[in-house]
Amino acid sequence: PRRITDKEKRTPPIRAYNPRSSHIRSGYYMALEGKKAVESFCSLNPEFREDHPMIKQGVPMHEVNVWPAEERHPGFRAFNEAYFRDMLAFSKALLRGFALGLGRAEDFFEPYLTAEGTLSSSVLIRYPYIEEYPKPAIRIADDGTQLSFERHQDVSLITVLLQSAVQNLQVKTQAGGYVDVPPSADCYLVNCGTYMEHITHGFFHAPWHRVKFVNAERLSLPFFVNLDNDSTVKPFVPTAEGPAEGAAKVDPAPREALSYGQYLQQGLHKLIVTNGQT
């Protein structure tokens, strides 16, 4: 496979750190020499085409994907679009289990998550090996751990993650410390995002996690499962039919019903302000 060229990285469709680009979600997020080493490519719903109602109306968080030239990167678009659709189907199956665990009907999440409207995103992230790693790209945690990306909770309903063999993901435990999450070639890692935590009154927790600095080539492929823009799940306390385990951690205080588009805009803005762009 050939690498994307510096010229391609700076063309208008490439969005991160590019004032000429109108995209704020999809596209290539470039590394910055001496400052930022991680690079990534974010693709959104392949159903978002120029004639899609949300695209025509200019609704925030909806963008038409812009792809590298097919003749220079053959199969890249086809792979990403197929992977998005496969992961959406897989995620819907997972959510049927979540719904049952909450004491809801198995298809509870179905109306909120459609193939035509989902704001989900698939992100290819590369953590490179660099002989002289730029010091500004390494963060230091309160406990002294060197990090590539600081602690955060995912802005999603759930996140489904595929990792390569190099271990650098850590998750915060109930005791307050961080532990390594071993990578697996046979399994996806699934965690809840803050919208799931919000609508279940904390029954399903969005874990704090961070990316430990390891100077080695590593790939990460998270699929952020996001509902449709206008979907609004009214927060609820899981019923008695759900599992008894964990009921004590539910926060019964009233919670605001948030449309998913509103939640996603606010959550991504806060994440970028706090941690910067991936």
In a 10 Å sphere around its CB, with 0-12 CB exposed, 13-18 middle and 19+ buried, how is residue 264 labelled? buried
**How much is the pLDDT for 19?**
61
Answer yes or no: is pLDDT of 118 > 70. Answer: yes
Q: How far is Cα 96 from Cα 35, in angstroms, rounded to an integer? A: 42
The tens digit of pLDDT for each residue in 33-69 reads 888 899 899 999 999 999 999 999 999 999 999 898 8
Q: How far is CA 78 from CA 2, 41, 44, 82, in A?
A: 16, 14, 13, 6
Q: Which of 149, 203, 204, 213 is catalytic?
A: 149
**Is 269 in the active site?**
no
Longest Cα–Cα distance of the chain, Å, equals 58
Answer yes or no: is pLDDT of 84 > 60. Answer: yes
Q: How far is Cα 190 from Cα 227, in angstroms, rounded to an integer? A: 16
Neighbours of 73 (CB within 10 A): 16
What does the pLDDT average to over 98-113?
Answer: 96
Q: How far is Cα 272 from Cα 156, in angstroms, rounded to an integer? A: 14
User: Dihedrals φ, ψ of 126, to 5°?
Assistant: -115, 120
Residue pair 223/44 in contact by the 8 Å Cβ criterion: no
Neighbours of 97 (CB within 10 A): 11
Q: How far is Cα 163 from Cα 166, in angstroms, rounded to an integer? A: 8
Q: Which of 52, 73, 90, 152 is catalytic?
A: 152
Band of residue 9 on the pLDDT scale cut at 50, 70, 90: low
Answer yes or no: is pLDDT of 13 > 50. Answer: no
**Is 108 in the active site?**
no
In a 10 Å sphere around its CB, with 0-12 CB exposed, 13-18 middle and 19+ buried, how is residue 11 labelled? middle
**Is 152 in the active site?**
yes
Band of residue 17 on the pLDDT scale cut at 50, 70, 90: low
Band of residue 12 on the pLDDT scale cut at 50, 70, 90: very low
Q: How far is CA 117 from CA 47, 53, 120, 128, in A?
A: 8, 10, 9, 34
**How much is the pLDDT for 21?**
65
Chain-centre distance for alpha carbon 86: 16
Q: Which of 76, 209, 213, 223 is catalytic?
A: 209
Answer yes or no: is pLDDT of 155 > 50. Answer: yes
Residue pair 120/260 in contact by the 8 Å Cβ criterion: no
The tens digit of pLDDT for each residue in 217-272 reads 999 999 999 999 999 999 999 974 545 455 557 888 889 999 999 999 999 888 87
The tens digit of pLDDT for each residue in 165-212 reads 999 999 999 899 999 999 988 899 999 999 999 999 999 999 999 999
**How much is the pLDDT for 31?**
82
**How much is the pLDDT for 248?**
53
**Is 224 in the active site?**
no
Q: Which of 62, 109, 154, 203 is catalytic?
A: 154
